[in-house]
Chain A
Amino acid sequence: MDGIELEILWSNIIGIVSEQAKALQRTAFSPIVREAGDLASGLFDARGRMVAQANTGTPGHINSLAAAGKTLADMFANRLVPGDVLITNDPWLSAGHFFDITVLTPIFWDDRLIGFVGSTIHHTDIGGYGIGAGARDIHEEGLWIPPLKLYESGEPNPVLHDIIRRNVRTPDHVLGDLAAQISSGRAGGERLIALCERAGLDDIEDLAEEIISRSEAATRNAIRALPAGTWHGESRFDVPGGEVITLKAAVTIDNEQGEVVIDFTGSSGASPLGINVVMNYTHAYSTFAVRSCLNPEQPNNYGSLAPIRVKAPEGCIVNAAYPSPLNARHVVGMFVPMPILKALHQVIPDRVIAEGSGAVWTVQIQGKQASGEAFTSSMFNYSGGMGARASKPGPSATCYPTGVAAVPIEILEAAMPIVFDRRELRRGSGGKGRSRGGDGQIIGFHMNTSEPWLLNAVPSRLDDGPDGLDGGEKGAAGRFLVNGETLSESRKMTMRPEDVVLFETPGGGGYGLA
């Protein structure tokens, strides 16, 4: 297959999954999917190797879906018939917490299995503890759906549907979003078959092999251009409750094999809070960090991910073991790239960024409307500053590695009796340096209510700000204040009607001596 034919077919299959992702994003009930694009959509060959992914989505989902697709394909090998649809939200097999449900649809062309279309989306609810890090073990966090057939030979599995309906708080939304995932899988499959017919292909085996092998070779070549050796990076950050987490990454570049091995040995052990990260998710953010510095322009697939290997001791905070709670795994997971970038700074200083605020701060509020009706807000979030780059400052009020959008103030005020007092950049919070870190922001609000209300806020980096690089200074630590008093709290808090909340999100680290 030459570079012309391959380009045409490859761009077509990326087009297929991107269309499906876009359709999912627009129809989803889950606000985080619609507003933040918290989803992934991918196409797999008959062996479960990810051949293409949508060009929307978050790294945590995309790269986790790659792993989940392979696992499910292996598990159900020789047990699939046309009309089957697979499902799981097993955190260790897919995206690291119960909210993320992966649906994988086998594509049969006549009676031959030619591949799979899969998607992972963050659902509105999964029962159990709800949003937050407060559950004591995985079982308190909600409904565990092991790898199962959600549809068998085109018929819905009634037992599983009933179990899901009874075990989530928003059954219409969850089942509606699952239906959207199923129809997106079917539509993607039909599009793939149409492409094969148009291009005169019997299956996608050769195409998949070509895509995967070229991607793998190109990634290995990019790695071979780097110096060999092992470099170390370490990031420390505090999480809600005050616990300080250390992530250590030893990044080994093997420029003969063209391989990068990242080893998290020496990182903190498991946390009692629901912020533990499964290996899939650690792997997802590790490969993301390396690829975004190494060859970001190249599409993600089984081949481009294969040369990057990730290791971590079983049971540590970035290779969580059963029954550790995992619900708010992004609180730690979004820091995974930081020690890697610090190590890579010693190899490719112009392509990395200094530490930033890390995880977005998430908030959810429950209370009563003026009418007396109870409400639970959707989860909303705020970014701190991004770290500085070698030749330019870090963007303010912008998150890395995720890049989720914030919900507008007016939308929040229209949905519940919240009144914002301010939302401004936190000037001077970015670390000084040759390039300055991005500034965090200051968000103040109170409730216009006469009833007590519940605040579920997940801040981070309250003790210590993000490190600078290469002599750049630290960004300012975050602050979480209620009525002017500093707090560090991870669980749902009961608030008095008149309480006033202030968030000051961290600034990003600076780069280079000022």
Chain B
Amino acid sequence: MTYSLAVDIGGTFTDVVLRGEDGSLSLDKTLTTHDDLKKGFFRGVGLVLDKAGVSPKDVTGVVVHATTIVTNALIERKGSPTALITTSGFGDVLSIRNEHRYEMYDPQIEFAPPLIPDALTFGVTERTLADGSISKQVDRAEVEALADRLRAEGVTSVAVCLLNSFRNAANEREVAAILGEKAPGLHISLSSAIAPQIREYPRASTTAVNAYAMPITQPYLHGLQVGLEEAGIPNRVLIMLSSGGIIGADVAARNPVRMIESGPAAGALAASWYAERLGLDRLLSFDMGGTTAKACLIENREPLVTGTFEVDRMYRFCEGSGMPLLIPSVDMIEIGAGGGSIASVDTLGLLKVGPHSAGSMPGPACYGRGGTSPTVTDADLVLGLLDADNFLGGDMKLDRAAAEQAMSSLAAALGADVARTAEGIYRIVAEAMASAARTHLTDRGVDYRGIPLLAFGGAGPVHACAVGELLGSSAVIFPPQASVLSAFGTLVTPVRLDLVRSCLGRLDALDWQEVGLLLDEMVAEAMDALAEAGCDHESVRLIFGADLRYFGQQNELGIMFAGDPRQHRDIAAIQADFEAAYFAQYGVNPSHVALEIVNWRLTAVGPDIDFRGTPPAAGVQGAAKRERLTTLWPDAGPVPVYERATLAAGQIIPGPALIEERETTIVLPPRWDAAINELGCIVAEIRK
């Protein structure tokens, strides 16, 4: 039998999923090994293969990998010396940023120092103008001297970002050619290749991150490949990207910036897969872990993708406080509300939850590891939603007295009792998530009411129905394998690459010849990349798109086309698609304003993955094992507690109920019913 393998390295755990062609799944988790991520990778792979009794040589399907290595490199800033080359006179692009002070009210605001310091930033004499014409050629002697300088400084990687290079890359390519001759072995990242889009600061920032990550990522990916061969696994590794795309290791090694946050992206892909299987046009994934909660809209069975991402934020969750990246990435909101988030009473006497987190060390007070701050998990325990003796299948005892103790000072400050305080924390977490989701969805022109939630992560199932009630969700769905959902997501997603190129032009005066050449180049790049990832030329599907705006605006709106614009050249259709999308988002269409195309987009997708899901074992309907009192619903009396593993397809559980699995507990409020479907999902709905 053929097997495929997925490995998702996260901050705490490395998750591994093995899938047989018959649909069978084996999974395991092992601690992430931060000193060398590869150790945990291969330990996890070994564990799963042993457990399933599968020989490495039978892993002839894909090996897909999502990793935090790039994010870690940026946050720890332990990369090797990296240089930035700019147009002479514009070397401070990373320090000047966009000048924006992201937190208006804080006079003590701080900005992260640039990833590449002044001393390693060099200007070269050259200039490309906005129309793509070159007004100053690159001076060979100057760049040759610079190559010597870089070697002398011990620089191993260089980012090149010249003005207007998104329009004409000739000067950047010339610099790269000279550096390549004079300093062989130097890693070179060109902004015209990494992020060929208008706006010099985010393009330079993206290129700098790419250059910084390259010397770390290339040996890592190479080491994985060697390790797989040594382990007797025949296939090459594929890499998950932030956009939800999957691509060969060689392409990823040249574009490491695109690997950032690929784990959460894979979680969104798993949600897409469930949307497809369950026949849902829209779904909101809700992933709540130890420190944060994330949500992502799945629309028409695909996660929303945005053109930008921000990494290493100085102020947690504050937009504008990190490094901007022009990379296609799954459009996700993240707020500081997880199981470890700390509750406090502010100077106005209001109960607040997060953004500070007790993390996993010391963790919530009930972990008994020295934490004394009251957290969301402590509140869940005090409310009776969690079982102190059955957390992580009983492997970890929770200390209820410590949780109550931590909660008591809060209760005193609020003038409430401990139970009311715990209930307040429970409600406020749901409010915070619902509010973030509303803003996120409204901002994208989506009516948030009636969209089903897909809940996962350690704390997600505990809080999902409360969030669902506030958002008016039609259902809350709890998938199986929720603890390794990201790894699962990589296994149900086809190979895919998303490309973007800026080429500004009024729609009514489009130079189709120029556009045709640009799109031809993009298609060739995508085809090469997908071929490297093992896709046949004929199996690749191409989807074209563009980012447009009304002339005079500065924010673009992306649309995807039904056909190939190179053949149709249909301006009226593009205009109609854009105006419809604009209306859907903003509810108005300004008249008499011309359209401008800013970016062209291309998504190239390999063949679909044939995987139908794993039905739950048929059998006897599981009965409640125990009962527990919860103060969340004081009138409900003792609440039945089920074990998820004992539930059979077709079974219906009336709320209130608690459904426990090893890593989490599903909280089903009164008035809700939960049904177990043939995919093994638990689908909760408000009783009609």
Contacts and interface: CB of A to CB of B under 8 A. Distances in A.
Contacts of A179: 588
A429 interface: no
A30 to B, nearest CB: 10
Contacts of B438: 15, 19
Contacts of A18: 439
Contact of B416 (A4, A27, A31): A4
B99 interface: yes
B24 to A, nearest CB: 45
Chain B binding surface SS class: loop
B98 A34 contact: no
B122 interface: no
Contacts of B115: none
Nearest to B592: A172
Interface string B16-38: 00000000000000000000000
Interface in A195-246: 214-215, 218, 221-222
Given A23-B443, A218-B348, A425-B96, A400 B90 contact: no
A34 B557 CA distance: 14
Interface in B520-559: 550, 552-555
A479 to B, nearest CB: 17
A422 B123 CA distance: 11
Given A296-B106, A411-B554, A176 B101 contact: no
Contacts of B92: 397, 423-425, 441
A167 interface: no
B129 A413 contact: yes
A269 interface: no
Contacts, number: 200
Contacts of B518: none
A2 B552 contact: no
Question: Which range holds the interface residue count of chain A?
Answer: 35 or more
B430 to A, nearest CB: 9
B107 A298 contact: no
B442 A172 contact: no
B475 interface: no
Interface in A304-360: 351-353
B107 A293 contact: yes
Contacts of A494: none
A328 B424 CA distance: 48
Given A406-B99, A408-B198, A12 B435 contact: yes
A457 interface: no
B130 A405 contact: no
Nearest to A444: B89
A422 B89 contact: yes
Given A352-B107, A395-B109, A404 B99 contact: yes
B163 A172 contact: no
A21 to B, nearest CB: 10
B91 interface: yes
Contacts of B443: 19, 22-23, 26
Contacts of A423: 89-90, 92-93, 96
A8 B95 contact: no
Given A6-B350, A292-B106, A29 B553 contact: yes
B105 A410 contact: no
Given A2-B414, A29-B553, A34-B553, A399 B101 contact: yes
Nearest to A299: B348
Contacts of A419: 127, 129, 135
29 contacts: A2-B415, A3-B351, A3-B413, A4-B420, A6-B350, A7-B351, A11-B435, A19-B439, A22-B439, A22-B443, A31-B554, A59-B104, A176-B590, A180-B586, A222-B347, A395-B111, A396-B96, A397-B97, A406-B96, A408-B198, A408-B199, A410-B130, A410-B198, A411-B198, A422-B89, A424-B90, A425-B96, A441-B96, A448-B129
